[in-house]
């Protein structure tokens, strides 16, 4: 990893401009005026919302995407669901897109989900939670936002940047997470305050928009006109 970072650092210093995908990633490199932050995109043709009434017709459903035993803390979320959330909401469901863990009442595992299946899970869930200890960016947060699903998570650099410190979702402490998830699952009708602006923000990160933003960074490619003329 140290060698990889050194190579990336040298590449950045040799480049006229470096584009970073997040504020936290940019902190790792020398600060130069020409460098820019260009967020990663989301495909809104795949990740899009359904009518909120369809969600509310289903049992309260929590979605997690990541690893059980990793910085994503899926195992901890599973424990909270079994010991705190399910006792408070007996019909609640937890969908976990990861390798299967121990069987638990109300928990369903989706291993090797296709992109279409993943998008459907995002759409139908009431709440998305990935309580990572660290995310430099956090694509799953963006996918959930594009799907019209409320994000509830714990603090990390990616969540704080994408959710704009709570404007587009809930960021709560570890101690508050279980109670916050119960409140969110109990009151889906209150989600629009966060999900509607989050959806608009996610749409501003569609592939077509972000590609144009990338191309607008003229210094990225030297002699861009001649590069394009040659079919580059």
pLDDT in tens, the chain (232 residues): 566 656 666 766 667 777 777 787 777 777 788 788 788 899 999 999 999 888 888 899 999 999 999 999 999 999 999 999 999 999 999 999 999 999 999 999 999 999 999 999 999 999 999 999 999 999 999 999 999 999 999 999 999 999 999 999 999 999 999 999 999 999 999 999 999 999 999 999 999 888 887 777 655 555 445 444 444 4
164: left (phi over 0), alpha (psi -120 to 50) or beta: left
Please report where in the chains the tokens 């956090």 appear, as a residue: 138
Residue owning tokens 């584009």:
19
DSSP 109: E
Which tokens sit at 209?
Answer: 């928009």
pLDDT at position 18 is 77
Cα–Cα dist 97/142, whole Å: 16
pLDDT of amino acid 226: 46
**Domains of the chain and any CATH numbers:** 52-203 (3.40.50.2000)
Report the distance separating Cα 122 and Cα 86, nearest Å. 20
Q: Which residue from 125, 151, 119 is spatially nearest to 138, judged by alpha carbons?
A: 151
Cα-only R_g, the chain? 20
Q: What's the confidence (pLDDT) of residue 37?
A: 79
The span from the CA of 183 to the CA of 195, in Å, is: 15
Strands (E), 28-73: 36-37, 61-65
Cα–Cα distance between 134 and 153 in angstroms, integer? 11
Residue 130's nearest CA partner among 97, 179, 105, 106 is 97
Instruction: Round to the nearest angstrom and report the end-to-end CA distance of the chain.
Output: 32
DSSP states along 149-168: -EEEE---HHHHHHTGGGTS
216: left (phi over 0), alpha (psi -120 to 50) or beta: alpha
Q: Does this model's pTM top 0.75?
A: yes
pLDDT at residue 96 in the model: 98
Beta strands 150-153 and 170-171, pairing class: parallel
* Rounded Cα–Cα distance for residues 64 and 85 (Å): 14
- Residue 32: how many CB atoms within 10 A of its CB? 14
Which pairs with CB-CB distance under 8 Å and at least 24 residues apart come from 31-35? 34/219
């Amino acid at each position: 990893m140290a060698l990889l970072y050194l190579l990336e650092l040298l590449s950045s210093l040799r480049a006229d401009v470096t584009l970073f995908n997040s504020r936290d990633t940019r902190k790792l490199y020398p600060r130069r005026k020409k460098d820019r932050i260009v967020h990663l995109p989301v495909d809104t043709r795949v990740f899009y919302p359904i009518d909120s009434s369809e969600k509310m017709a289903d049992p309260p459903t929590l979605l997690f995407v990541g690893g059980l035993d990793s910085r994503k803390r899926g195992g901890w979320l599973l424990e909270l669901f079994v010991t705190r959330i399910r006792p408070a909401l007996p019909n609640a469901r937890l969908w976990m897109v990861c390798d299967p863990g121990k069987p638990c009442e109300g928990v369903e595992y989706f291993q090797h989900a296709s992109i279409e299946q993943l998008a459907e899970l995002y759409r139908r869930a009431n709440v998305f939670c990935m309580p990572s200890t660290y995310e430099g960016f956090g694509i799953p947060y963006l996918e959930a936002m594009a799907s019209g699903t409320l994000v509830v998570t714990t603090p990390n650099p990616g969540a704080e940047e994408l959710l704009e410190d709570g404007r587009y979702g809930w960021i709560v402490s570890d101690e508050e997470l279980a109670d916050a998830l119960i409140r969110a699952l109990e009151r889906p009708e209150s989600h629009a305050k966060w999900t509607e602006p989050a959806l608009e923000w996610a749409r501003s990160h569609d592939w077509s928009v972000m590609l144009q933003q990338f191309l607008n960074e003229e210094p990225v490619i030297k002699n861009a006109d001649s590069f394009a003329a040659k079919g580059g």
